């Protein structure tokens, strides 16, 4: 009588992935507003002032970057330097005039960045796509 013994081995795949980095260029894509009366979310596509030239934010790895938009009349680039820092879901964006935005990062992956802004009782999420 012959006995056939099969050995099974398991390979464990390391499923831990590095979190996506905010470093890069992000094109504004959509806005999501919350209706104050009924709490319903309203999604609006972003329409650039100049066709094919969306507002975009550049986050460099050194904590600097640019907020870039285009003039609606001439389609010239308006570029504003920023300083930024991120700790978990908290993001601080400081503009060269000293003003700051402090949105919450609600989604960050290889293709999508969602920033939630809450100011004066208004809540809006701006959705960006990685360039």
The answer to whether position 59 is within a domain reads yes
Give the C-alpha separation, 123 to 37, whole Å: 13
Domain that holds residue 112: 24-130
Give the C-alpha separation, 99 to 23, whole Å: 21
Taking phi over 0 as left and psi of -120 to 50 as alpha, with beta for the rest, 38 belongs to alpha
Would you state the pLDDT for residue 3? 41
Would you state the pLDDT for residue 52? 85
* pTM reported for the whole predicted model: 0.82
The answer to whether position 121 is within a domain reads yes
Look at the chain and report how many structural domains it folds into: 1
The per-residue pLDDT for range 81-126, each reduced to its tens digit, is 999 999 999 999 999 999 999 999 999 999 999 999 997 778 899 9
Give the C-alpha separation, 92 to 111, whole Å: 21
The answer to whether position 7 is within a domain reads no
The per-residue pLDDT for range 30-69, each reduced to its tens digit, is 999 988 788 888 999 999 988 889 999 999 999 999 999 9
The answer to whether position 94 is within a domain reads yes
The answer to whether position 18 is within a domain reads no
Give CA separation, 38 vs 35, 48, 118, in Å.
6, 29, 17
The answer to whether position 12 is within a domain reads no
First to last CA, the chain: 66
Would you state the pLDDT for residue 7? 40
The answer to whether position 95 is within a domain reads yes
CATH number at residue 37: 2.40.128.280
Other C-beta atoms closer than 10 Å to the C-beta of 86 total 16
Would you state the pLDDT for residue 16? 66
The answer to whether position 83 is within a domain reads yes
């Amino acid at each position: 009588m012959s006995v056939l013994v099969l050995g099974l081995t398991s390979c464990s795949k390391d499923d831990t992935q590095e979190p996506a980095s905010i470093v890069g260029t992000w094109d504004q894509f959509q806005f999501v507003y919350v209706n104050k009366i009924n709490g319903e979310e309203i999604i609006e596509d972003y329409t650039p002032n100049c066709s094919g030239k969306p507002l975009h934010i550049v986050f460099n790895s050194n904590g600097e970057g640019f907020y870039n938009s285009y003039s609606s009349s001439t389609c010239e680039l308006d570029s504003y330097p920023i300083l930024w820092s991120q700790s978990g879901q908290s993001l601080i964006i400081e503009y060269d005039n000293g003003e700051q935005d402090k949105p919450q990062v609600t989604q960050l992956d290889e293709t999508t960045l969602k920033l939630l802004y809450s100011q004066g009782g208004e809540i809006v999420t701006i959705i960006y796509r990685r360039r």
